[in-house]
Amino acid sequence: MRMRDVKDMGDLRDMSSGDMVDLLDELRAVARRRGTKLLQQGRIQARRAIGAPDPMWVGSALFAGVVLGAVVGAVVAFLMTPMPGREARQRLAQQAEQMRERMPEMKIGHNGRHPGGVPEALDHRPSSEARA
């Protein structure tokens, strides 16, 4: 039996135990939905009472802040760059080529040491001690 089928107390007296369980389950579901709705309304009213921002506005403000920060960062980087992009790429390519040319000099042996001992460029001792 459904809740809408109950018209008066006589209908409740004539119900079987199975119908009573079904009716109680339906009442429990209705009470749960109503309680959840009231709780949500209470949360909204509490947030308004303490002056807290709406959760949707917090997410929107965060997104706007990230976008604004990216735009400001790009403008500052554009204005503060010491050289044009083409020149920076050329300098980077030149430095990469210099490093490729110096790579054979920089190879390290299997034991973690330079194959010919410590190169003079890396030795910080006075020149008379470095050769000894």
Residue-by-residue pLDDT tens, the chain, 132 positions:
566 666 666 666 667 778 778 888 888 999 999 999 999 999 888 888 888 877 778 888 899 999 999 999 999 988 888 888 888 889 989 999 998 888 776 666 555 565 555 555 555 655 555 445
Q: How far apart are CA 68 and CA 74, in angstroms?
A: 10
Report CA 2 to chain centroid distance, whole Å. 49
- Cβ 115 vs Cβ 109: under 8 Å: yes
pLDDT of residue 126: 59
pLDDT of residue 83: 81
Three-state secondary structure call for residue 83: coil
pLDDT of residue 109: 56
- Cβ 61 vs Cβ 38: under 8 Å: no
Domain boundaries in the chain? 1-52, 53-105
DSSP structural state of residue 52 = P
pLDDT of residue 7: 64
- Does the model's pTM come out above 0.85? no
pLDDT of residue 95: 92
- Cβ 41 vs Cβ 35: under 8 Å: no
The residue assigned the tokens 């040491």 is 113
